[in-house]
Amino acid sequence: MNKKIIIANWKMHPNTLAEAESLYHFSCDSCIAGGNNAEVIVCPPFVYLEALSKIESSTGLGAQNCHWEQEGAFTGEVSPVMLKQFGVKYVILGHSERRWKMNEDDEMINEKMKAVLNNDMTPILAVGERKKDEDREHILIDQISKNIGGIDREDIDKIIIAYEPVWTISTTKDKEKETPEHALEAFKIIKDILNKLIGEEINIPILYGGSVDSKNVGSFVSKPEIAGVLVGGASINKEEFGKIIEIVSGIKS
Ligand code: PGA
């Protein structure tokens, strides 16, 4: 039985190392309190990775981005080789805030996917439509086929996909939130795309992300097709994140 996965995307928070360490300790303790029944992966800003990698825990450490080259003249960038030495096992790639705010295109994301896999880390590929009324099947086909194009067959099984409809990210309005039923239609589309692209049945974890909190996490994670959640805002709120871990830890796959 696979554990459900919870990925904490801290984005550009918190402001101090002391707060980052405190939040990380809290997340680790919450995992233990949940009997380690959920797989928790924390993705802090780069600058906190070294300090957090020294804290012994069952919590996985991830990064929120990386460059596709091993090293070179790329001012301001961080390479997969650099991340690896701090115990980073996962890298979020293709997050909507990087696609739309930092102008990352599908080709760049594809290069990053290959670089992360070549460095024995797991890419967490975020995909999803920007607006609620967009043709999401068309968008998902386009993103996934371009983002995983040219990846070796054996590496496909190492990928995690996060379906994050961009219109649901960081919202408190109920009408802008995704329902598990509507999300599941996208999960089916993603699975069909993968099977078609690879030419055989592919069973990699597909997570849901977009305003996940302690109130709605159970309704998503209780669906067998949903392997876990990618949590942004609620992951930097101790009370909320503690509840999310507690709820997910109690759900069996
Ligand atoms: P949110 O962010 O949970 O704050 O909506 C999710 C994400 O952007 O990964």
122-127 and 160-163 beta bridge pairing: parallel
| Helix, strand or coil, per DSSP, at residue 238 | helix
Nearest C-alpha neighbor of 43 from the set 123, 157, 127, 106: 123
pLDDT value for 122: 98
What is the distance in A from the centroid of ligand 1 to the CA of 32? Answer: 24
Q: Which phi-psi region, left, alpha or beta, contains residue 164 (left: φ > 0; alpha: ψ -120 to 50)?
A: beta
SS (H, E, C) 129-146: CCCCCCCHHHHHHHHHHH
Q: Which of 12, 211, 229, 240 to mutate to test the pocket of ligand 1 (most atoms within 8 A of CB)?
A: 211
Residue 119 backbone dihedrals phi, psi, to 5 degrees: -100, 20
Q: Pick the residue whose CA is nearest to atom 9 on ligand 1.
A: 232
- Measured from the Cα of 234, ligand 1's closest atom is 3
- Measured from the Cα of 235, ligand 1's closest atom is 3
Q: Is the CB of 232 under 6 A from ligand 1?
A: yes
Catalytic positions, please?
95, 164
How many angstroms separate the CA atoms of 223 and 182, rounded? Answer: 12
How many angstroms separate the CA atoms of 136 and 232, rounded? Answer: 22
Q: Pick the residue whose CA is nearest to atom 8 on ligand 1.
A: 232
CA distances 147 to 58, 122, 141, 199, Å, are 30, 14, 10, 17
pLDDT value for 252: 63
For the stretch 120-123, contacts whose Cβ atoms lie closer than 8 Å and that sit 24 or more positions apart, written own/partner, are: 120/84, 121/80, 121/83, 121/84, 121/88, 121/89, 121/90, 121/91, 122/89, 122/90, 122/91, 122/158, 122/159, 122/160, 123/90, 123/91, 123/93, 123/158, 123/159, 123/160
Q: What averages of pLDDT result for each successive group of 10 residues across the chain (253 residues)?
A: 93 98 96 94 98 93 98 98 97 97 97 98 97 95 98 98 94 82 96 97 97 96 97 97 97 69
Tokens 């190392």 belong to: 17
Q: Is the CB of 169 under 6 A from ligand 1?
A: yes
Q: Is the CB of 9 under 6 A from ligand 1?
A: yes
Q: Pick the residue whose CA is nearest to atom 3 on ligand 1.
A: 232
Q: Is the CB of 127 under 6 A from ligand 1?
A: no
Residues listed for the chain? 253
CB 122 within 8 A of CB 160: yes
